[in-house]
Structure 1
């Protein structure tokens, strides 16, 4: 029984190991330096290193300036603070709405393509390879040292941004739910001996 539960737990962990979801709330208060923009937004990034796909969904409104660029920066020295160079394509995401103060965006990127990445990020963090860039980017997302930034005519360095944070997957909750009875059973058996 214990071995069967352990195998199921490991199987669920393997299923969730490749695809990861990250979210952030965007605001001027999170910018470096912070600004008084009333703009807000949300972003969800679904990064699957096994299939080389990254889906980015952004919603934003209330900007003081018109959008000029949007991309993900990585990797800050301290998670959740500081600045970093652009990791994703330049000058902005393919098809991102430019010249607006509100909008939505959704795009699926092929992360095995060089065009998805800033060449400086590939060389600096990825050791000169796309596979290295994917691995470094995943590490930045996992550690909270990657952020999405919306640049505008009001704030060229960025009007609103948010640090991407991992979202626990249902499989993670399943692991916890399955693991608790296993631990309790093992503790009960130890007490009985």
Structure 2
């Protein structure tokens, strides 16, 4: 009986944690390099990107900085979805040919913008079509891919038209999520301790 009670409490804690996590914006980051390209290149350029995505409000902010490009910046967008986390290539998910207002023909720069992901103009039309034909389908697919490490930010240049630097987006754990997960840990330990043969 007590095992069933602790399992129920654990399930409730985990469900509460998941529900709370889905109701909030999720932050993703990546470090950008030529070594992360496919195939890797010798560019010494570096950069970083931070994305904040709130699927409930269709809020999408992106902030990136880069320096040392060997060619002039030509385009930047998010690709989705590779077959394996942190590896491979995929088509462009976001607007073409580049994010609106992204700095062109520079080797160093910064960029930040906020977009509404409920608008078709945010997306590559092919990505919408491949994900149910709706912006909601595209949102769900991109959010899942960023969480799974199968989506990347790519910065293309005149020297490397296929991409000079890129980085796979990874979620940044929120303090509240970590607290909720840690709160469930005693329940897991209790369950394991009381399990037969443990």
- 1:13 deviates by 3.2
Matched, 1:168 2:186: no
Is 2:79 the counterpart of 1:86? no
- Contact (CA 8 Å) 2:10, 2:188: kept in 1 or not? no
In the superposition, the TM-score normalised over structure 1's length comes to 0.88
User: What is the DSSP-based 3-state SS (H/G/I as helix, E as strand, rest coil) of the residue aligned with 2:35?
Assistant: helix
**Is 2:166 the counterpart of 1:137?**
no
Q: Distance in 2 between the 1:28 and 1:188 partners?
A: 48
Q: Closer, same or farther in 2 for the Cα pair 1:186/1:139, shift >3 Å?
A: closer
Check 1:7–1:76 CA distance in 2 against 1; reply closer, same or farther (3 A cut).
closer
Contact 1:20 1:48 in 2 (8 A): yes
Which portions of structure 1, spanning 4 or more consecutive aligned residues, are displaced by more than 4 angstroms?
2-10, 184-191
Counterparts of 1:120 and 1:131, CA distance in 2 = 14
Measured after TM superposition, the shift of residue 155 of structure 1 is 0.4
Q: CA deviation at 1:20?
A: 1.5
State the partner residue of 2:118. Answer: 112
Which of 68, 72, 77 does residue 78 from structure 2 map onto?
A: 72
Q: Secondary structure at the match of 1:33?
A: coil
Whole-angstrom CA distance in 1 between matches of 2:78 and 2:63: 12
Displacement, 1:140?
1.2
RMSD of aligned Cα (Å): 2.1
Question: Would the alpha carbon gap of residues 135 and 65 (structure 1) be closer, same or farther in structure 2, given more than 3 Å must change?
Answer: same
